[in-house]
Structure 1
Amino acid sequence: MPTYSHSKINTFEQCSLKYKFRYIDRIPVEGGPGIEAFMGSMVHEALEELYEQVLNGKIPSEEEVVTRYKELWEEHKEGEEELVIVKEGMSEDDYKNLGEEMLRNYYRRHYPFNDSKTIGLETQELLDLDGSRKYHIRIDRFAKKEDGTYEVHDYKTGGRLPRQEDIDQDTQLAMYSIWVREKYPDAKRVRLIWHYLKFEEDLETQKSPEELEKIKEEILEKIKKIEQAESFEPNVSALCNWCEYQEICPAWKHKFKQEEEEPEEEALNGKQLVDEYVEAKEEYDKLKDKLVELKKKIADYARKEGVTTVFGSRAKANVKETARYSWPPKNTEEREELKLALKEIQLYDKASDIDTTELTHLLEELPEEQAERIKEFAKLVKSVRVTFSKNTD
């Protein structure tokens, strides 16, 4: 029975190709972890140990918590390769100190840690979604108050503080709330609490049974979309800076190949082609024909190398192949035959007197037999678009 999680679904929504690399191909990752994720893990472990001691009747001092955090940092760092730092101007010590500051602030705000009774820490549970799929439940701290209210606590160490409306729309802790209500029938009230440690802010929300049922249905729809996916395309965004698969991603791998390419291989040297394009554009009025030729070479290079982005020293070329249906023009015999075919399946009016844009969209909704009948009147036209943008680093 397949198991899904918030991070697994979120990965697919951020970039389906990254999802494929991580969860389908299971490609091992080279290099050390990102410093932000590493720091977050150390803060989580320090808080877990803090509450374990509280459960055993001992409240550690602030200095003991910080000392243990520093020990955890060094212990885990020994088994890792060099930590990856993306943000310029930040060092390992900067992140280590930031984590320490978060712990100190949390300690001072929540001491003596007795506002609720901890039931579980870093839980490892599964929620049955529909008899054929499960959802992973990992709660940072699960607690219960004296009045019977259950609490789901989640620690956040990131640099963004969301709005309350973002919290109200969150599905991760809402799914955890479903698990709480199923496992604890006495749970009449479940508080979902986010601790944004960098900002010393606690945000919370609650969900009704009706809202939870709707969220569960939405999650199942997202899962079905993942399971039905046939193509996995890269989604280039700012998050790519933290992606561990850049060296094999078609949108980025050429960036790492540039040093291996021989300059004399002019026809297949993507870096040189992009550089030539940048120079040619400065003399655009005299070199229009050459620009067209270079675009074709870049597209050929991208197709041969299996990449969608070709990096030069000053810019990068984004290559996108598209396909569209071309329909018979008005006032032609083929157009009249298309009208008759649409009338046969009672779609002539729906197609707005053959609005070709709407007709193309309708192909996705029609039964396969009807769609194939209409496609007989269309030509599938493929094209390649090459656009350019400056390198960001």
Structure 2
Amino acid sequence: MLDREGPAAGPTAEPTETAEPTDTTTPLPTPEPAERAVRRPALSPSRAADFKQCPLLYRFRAVDRLPEPPTRAQLRGTLVHSVLEKLFALPAAERMPERARDLLAPAWAELAEQSPEWTELFPGAESAEVTEWLGSAAELLDAYFRLEDPRRLEPEACELHVETELGSGVLLRGYVDRLDVAPTGEIRVVDYKTGAAPRAIGEAKAMFQMKFYAVVLWRLRGVVPRQLKLMYLTDGQALAYTPDEAELRRFERTLEAIWQAILRAGRTGDFRPSPSRLCDWCAHRALCPSHGGTPPEYPGWPEPDAGEESPLDRAD
């Protein structure tokens, strides 16, 4: 069941999963070793969710690799994730709200150095504008401290890269915001959410992501995570969910079906649009046939490595 924590706690329905087709389409031919990409194609939670939401969106991001200018909200989410990672690297006694705020400016300077193009969202680098934006990030950090006391926690890892291959040959890859492991061996997967997606759609997408991580960790460690915890910093709520092995087996089959569907579309270039309310937030709307646009010519299936999620993917 889903359990809410926080000031506005209340029940919520479990998000539905996609159907589980039994297609056993043969995977595309694997390139010869000399032609093989540096990294083998994999499925990440973000790209799996893209295809589930709209196959054409998956194509634009994973095959065409069309650029998407980030928003200030996305950068703020990336910044908050970075600060929380740095916070847990400090001795427990130092994990205080004021210390987290002190980390904001240096963390932004570090991110801006790594991706200078991100600073273009602040024309002229107006100090007042950046200060106001950093202040909004500080508010999210303050909300985090109202949800839990990091001085009482010792995570096993933050921003943990996880990767495993299912028995069907599908390679799963992603990043876990935080992994807590109890002395008894019980596992808790924690994810921070800073975006402002519509609540019902946002929660379903987030729980899809968390079940993805649960499957990977279960296959890596042989232990079903005891709890999947989402922390919504915008409204100060926490959402906790307890999966079971039977559910993860079903979800594993769902992921395998998604990958087979991606491979089928990859052969023909038939990545069809799936219009929804989320079209209003799509960076590629102008190229979508459902909105009068024309996609670029299909470049062919390049065996994309869509498993590497960017910091922006992980900061929603």
Structure 1 residues 19-38: aligned runs within 5 Å:
19-27=58-66, 29=67, 32-38=69-75
Write the distance in 1 (CA, Å) between the matches of 2:280 and 2:206.
Answer: 27
**Alpha-carbon distance, 1:221 to partner:** 1.0
Percent same amino acid among aligned pairs? Answer: 26
The match for 2:48 is 9
RMSD between aligned residues: 3.4
The match for 2:164 is 127
- 2:242 maps to 1:203: no
**Alpha-carbon distance, 1:118 to partner:** 0.9
Q: Given that residues 66 and 103 in structure 1 are in contact (C-alpha distance below 8 angstroms), is that contact kept between their aligned partners in structure 2?
A: yes
1:189–1:133 distance in 2 versus 1, CA, 3 Å:
closer
Write the distance in 1 (CA, Å) between the matches of 2:94 and 2:218.
Answer: 30
Q: Which runs of 4+ in 1 moved over 6 A?
A: none
1:168–1:99 distance in 2 versus 1, CA, 3 Å:
closer
Write the distance in 1 (CA, Å) between the matches of 2:104 and 2:204.
Answer: 28
Structure 1 residues 247-326: aligned runs within 5 Å:
248-250=287-289, 306=294
TM-score between both structures, scaled by the size of structure 2: 0.67
1:5–1:104 distance in 2 versus 1, CA, 3 Å:
same
**Alpha-carbon distance, 1:170 to partner:** 2.7
Write the distance in 2 (CA, Å) between the matches of 1:40 and 1:211.
Answer: 30
The match for 1:151 is 188
Task: Letter of the 1:70 partner, please give it.
Answer: A
**Alpha-carbon distance, 1:100 to partner:** 1.2
**Alpha-carbon distance, 1:133 to partner:** 1.6
- In structure 2, list runs of 5 or more residues that go unmatched: 1-39, 123-128, 296-316
Q: Given that residues 150 and 189 in structure 1 are in contact (C-alpha distance below 8 angstroms), is that contact kept between their aligned partners in structure 2?
A: yes
**Alpha-carbon distance, 1:192 to partner:** 0.6
Task: Letter of the 1:150 partner, please give it.
Answer: I
Q: Secondary structure at the match of 1:122?
A: strand
Structure 1 residues 85-164: aligned runs within 5 Å:
95-114=133-152, 116-160=153-197, 162=199
1:167–1:59 distance in 2 versus 1, CA, 3 Å:
farther
Task: Letter of the 2:98 partner, please give it.
Answer: E
The match for 1:176 is 213
1:112–1:63 distance in 2 versus 1, CA, 3 Å:
same
Write the distance in 1 (CA, Å) between the matches of 2:254 and 2:226.
Answer: 20
Count of aligned positions: 246
Q: Given that residues 162 and 217 in structure 2 are in contact (C-alpha distance below 8 angstroms), is that contact kept between their aligned partners in structure 1?
A: no
1:59–1:133 distance in 2 versus 1, CA, 3 Å:
same
Q: Given that residues 211 and 251 in structure 2 are in contact (C-alpha distance below 8 angstroms), is that contact kept between their aligned partners in structure 1?
A: yes
Write the distance in 1 (CA, Å) between the matches of 2:228 and 2:207.
Answer: 10
- Of 83, 101, 108, the residue aligned with 1:66 is 101
Q: Secondary structure at the match of 2:176?
A: coil
**Structure possessing the higher radius of gyration over alpha carbons:** 1
Q: Secondary structure at the match of 1:170?
A: helix
Task: Letter of the 2:55 partner, please give it.
Answer: S
Task: Letter of the 2:121 partner, please give it.
Answer: L
- In structure 1, list runs of 5 or more residues that go unmatched: 85-90, 255-305, 308-393
- 2:231 maps to 1:192: no
Higher RCO (C-alpha 8 Å, min separation 6): 2
Write the distance in 1 (CA, Å) between the matches of 2:204 and 2:275.
Answer: 26
Q: Given that residues 43 and 99 in structure 1 are in contact (C-alpha distance below 8 angstroms), is that contact kept between their aligned partners in structure 2?
A: yes
Q: Secondary structure at the match of 2:94?
A: coil
